Amino acid sequence: MAVDALLPLVRAVSGTAPRRAVVIADLPSCTYETSAEHCSQTVVRFMKEAGAHAVKLEGSDEMLP
């Protein structure tokens, strides 16, 4: 699923979650393997645009140092 499709979903969760809840978004695969800069930009979008408190990504040092 594309980032632009997930942002409204995360925004809906963060907007209705209880005040003390931590909202964690999950980066879709193939959205952060290109570069560290692209990964950072995508994480910032999830936090600023959708209200996520944290963003999870999967991989290893081989994918992104």
CA angle 28, 32, 47 (to 5 degrees): 70
pLDDT (0 to 100) of residue 63 = 59
Specify the number of domains making up the chain. 1
Mean predicted lDDT score pLDDT of the chain: 86
Domain that holds residue 43: 3-13+21-63
Contact 41, 34 (CB under 8 A): no
- Determine the length of the chain: 65
Q: Tens digits of per-residue pLDDT, 44-65?
A: 999 999 999 999 987 666 655 5
Q: How far is residue 31's CA from residue 39's CA, in Å, rounded to a whole number?
A: 7
